[in-house]
């Protein structure tokens, strides 16, 4: 019972995101959330209007982290190739720091208004990164023989796959910086020596 008083909007959100990622957003009921949080449904309604508000908050947290990267000084000044490598590195770091939230964002498929909004914002983010790639090609720093849309997709394919296998709790896990280095080296310099 003491547990009930310890909930804040943030801790409730953390529990909800875990359940959404396990069961899928569609497959999660308020009853599931109530059981996972160990508090009554009415206590949850004290914090939020319903599960869609929890989804919106969780997705916002992921998106805020990702879009903030685009505003960092190193993402806005200098040659596009440097900005692109900086953005790639930082996106990997945000993905790992906010792993459950970004995982949820990546899995959203779009039946509700909130899900469609999430997908729209994600596309917007992808376009911003594609623009950086385009600029880097124009500045002569990226190879011109790989289609920009394809390169953007392969880059995100690599980055987003991290959400599927990275498990921070494993003691053998690489650090966030090591994974980010690996992605930047692979995507931009290639694995060949």
Binding site for its own copies (CB under 8 A): 81, 133, 140-147, 150-151, 153-162, 164-165, 174, 178-179, 181-183, 185-193
Q: Would you list the DSSP string of 17-36?
A: HHHHHHH-STT--HHHHHHH
**Minimal distance in Å, beta carbon 120 to its own copies?**
16
77 versus 161: smaller Cβ distance to its own copies: 161
Secondary element (H or E) of residue 2: helix 2-6
CB 13 within 8 A of CB 47: no
66 versus 106: smaller Cβ distance to its own copies: 106
d(CA 88, CA 101): 18
77 versus 186: smaller Cβ distance to its own copies: 186
Q: Pick left, alpha or beta for residue 146 (phi over 0 → left; psi -120 to 50 → alpha; otherwise beta).
A: beta
**Minimal distance in Å, beta carbon 113 to its own copies?**
22
39 versus 81: smaller Cβ distance to its own copies: 81
Question: CA torsion 59→60→61→67, rounded to 10°?
Answer: 110
**Minimal distance in Å, beta carbon 149 to its own copies?**
9
d(CA 112, CA 98): 23
**Minimal distance in Å, beta carbon 192 to its own copies?**
5
**Minimal distance in Å, beta carbon 185 to its own copies?**
5
66 versus 136: smaller Cβ distance to its own copies: 136
**Long-range contact set of residues 171-177: C-beta below 8 Å, sequence gap at least 24:** 176/92, 176/93, 176/96, 176/97, 177/93
């Amino acid at each position: 019972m003491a547990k009930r008083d310890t909930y804040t909007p943030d801790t409730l959100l953390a529990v909800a995101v875990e359940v959404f990622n396990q069961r899928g957003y569609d497959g999660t009921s308020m009853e599931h959330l109530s059981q996972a949080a160990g508090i009554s449904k009415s206590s949850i309604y004290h914090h939020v209007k319903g599960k869609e508000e929890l989804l919106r908050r969780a997705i916002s947290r992921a998106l805020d982290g990702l879009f903030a990267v685009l505003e960092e000084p190193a993402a806005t000044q200098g040659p596009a190739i440097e900005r692109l490598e900086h953005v790639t590195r930082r996106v990997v770091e945000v993905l790992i720091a906010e792993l459950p939230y970004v995982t949820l964002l990546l899995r959203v498929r779009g039946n509700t208004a909130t899900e469609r909004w999430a997908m729209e914002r994600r596309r917007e983010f992808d376009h911003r990164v594609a623009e950086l790639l385009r600029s880097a090609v124009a500045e002569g720093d990226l190879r011109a023989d790989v289609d920009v849309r394809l390169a953007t997709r392969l880059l995100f394919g690599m980055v987003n796959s991290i959400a599927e296998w990275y498990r921070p709790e494993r003691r053998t896990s690489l650090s966030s910086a090591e994974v980010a280095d690996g992605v930047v080296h692979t995507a931009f310099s290639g694995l060949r020596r």
